[in-house]
Amino acid sequence: MIKAIKKNYITYYQGNIPIILSAPHGGEEKPSDIKTRTKGVFEKDDYTYELTELIIDEFYKQTQQTPYAVIADISRVKVDINRTKEDAYEDEKASVPYNQFHEFIKKSKSEIEKKFSRGLYIDIHGQSHPKGYLEFGYLLDNSIIKQHDSLLKEKTNIDNSSISALSKFSKECFIDQLRGPHSIGSLMCNKGYDSVPSVKLPYASDDNYFEGAYNTITHGSLNGGNISGIQVEFPYKDVRDTNKNRKRCAKAFVSSLLTFIKIHLDLDLKR
């Protein structure tokens, strides 16, 4: 398996398959020479660092290949890498890990576009909403994904999503990509992880749903290119809380992603 490099409080795997994983909020390093932020969100997404590493390992187990991955070692109290520069940090020194994180993703995207012409970006987070569902974010908020298929499939929604590029390669329509039987949410439901959106749960009934933020806006296909993006919010209980549960979820997630990519990107990554 490809070994990681560490630079400016960022861990980077230069992969060999058209998948990019990122984890901006699981780091714990708090360099004393960078001032602590005084406003914004500071909470760590517990065990998302460890979960991302397990997903990388699981990709190798299932494909003998390694995804690209960018993981923040630096704590969110110093820099929030899932925000614009204006909201990410208060000390200019924090711009170094911030820029490093995003440059690694841009580098990965460029390599994937050249080698494979298409790919998938996954931004990994953790949430503690009461229902405990996995939440897959496509930059469409809950009020939009609540819509009937006839409205949801409108071109405006497709164009405003982070997976608009999938339609260039998938034989299935936008609704099926988003919440049909072969959506990533439905594939995870089939493995015992209730997910929004999916056939089972087309939207969040309690309106607790994260649709994606800066990283998904920036690195998905909203602004062009052939790499679609999905923000994934993993619940804590029964998913992130123990190493056993993290391993179990990583295995299911990788298996589901491989099926999703085969169907919607016409790429069979299993060897």
Q: How far is CA 26 from CA 8, 15, 49, 55, 208, in A?
A: 15, 20, 5, 14, 21
The mean pLDDT of 203-229, rounded to a whole number, is: 98
Q: What is the pLDDT of residues 82-138, one digit of tens each?
A: 999 999 999 999 999 999 999 999 999 999 999 999 999 999 999 999 999 999 999
At 246, the pLDDT band (50, 70, 90 cuts) reads very high
**Percent over 70 (pLDDT), the chain:** 100
- Residue 68 pairs in a beta bridge with 20
Does residue 237 form part of some domain? yes
The mean pLDDT of 152-181, rounded to a whole number, is: 97
Does residue 128 form part of some domain? yes
Does residue 270 form part of some domain? no
**pLDDT at res. 1:** 83
Residue 123: which domain range?
Answer: 5-264
At 24, the pLDDT band (50, 70, 90 cuts) reads very high
Q: What is the pLDDT of residues 167-181, one digit of tens each?
A: 999 999 999 999 999
**pLDDT at res. 270:** 87
DSSP per position, 11-58? EEE--SEEEEEEESS---B--TTSPPP-SS-----TTHHHHHHHHHHH
**pLDDT at res. 97:** 98
The mean pLDDT of 232-259, rounded to a whole number, is: 98
CATH code of the domain in which 57 resides: 3.40.630.40
Bridge-based pairing state of the strands 119-127 and 227-235: parallel
**pLDDT at res. 64:** 97
Q: What is the pLDDT of residues 49-68, one digit of tens each?
A: 999 999 999 999 999 999 99
Residue 256 has pLDDT above 80, yes or no: yes
What distance in Å separates the CA atoms of residue 88 and residue 18, rounded to the nearest whole number? 28
Spatial CB neighbours of 51, under 8 Å, sequence gap ≥ 6: 23, 26, 124, 234, 239, 240, 246, 249, 250
Does residue 34 form part of some domain? yes
The mean pLDDT of 199-223, rounded to a whole number, is: 98
**What's this model's pTM, rounded to 2 decimal places?**
0.98
Does residue 77 form part of some domain? yes
**Contact (Cβ atoms closer than 8 angstroms) between residue 184 and residue 260:** yes
What distance in Å separates the CA atoms of residue 140 and residue 144, rounded to the nearest whole number? 6
**pLDDT at res. 169:** 96
What distance in Å separates the CA atoms of residue 126 and residue 107, rounded to the nearest whole number? 25
Does residue 37 form part of some domain? yes
The mean pLDDT of 236-264, rounded to a whole number, is: 98
**pLDDT at res. 88:** 98
**Contact (Cβ atoms closer than 8 angstroms) between residue 225 and residue 109:** yes
Does residue 271 form part of some domain? no
What's the total number of domains in the chain? 1
Report residue 141 as tokens.
């908020």
**pLDDT at res. 147:** 97
What distance in Å separates the CA atoms of residue 163 and residue 121, rounded to the nearest whole number? 10
Instruction: Centre a 10 Å sphere on the Cβ of residue 217 and count the other Cβ atoms it contains.
Output: 16
The mean pLDDT of 42-51, rounded to a whole number, is: 98
Residue 271 has pLDDT above 80, yes or no: no
Phi (first) and psi of residue 193, to 5 degrees: -115, 95
Does residue 125 form part of some domain? yes
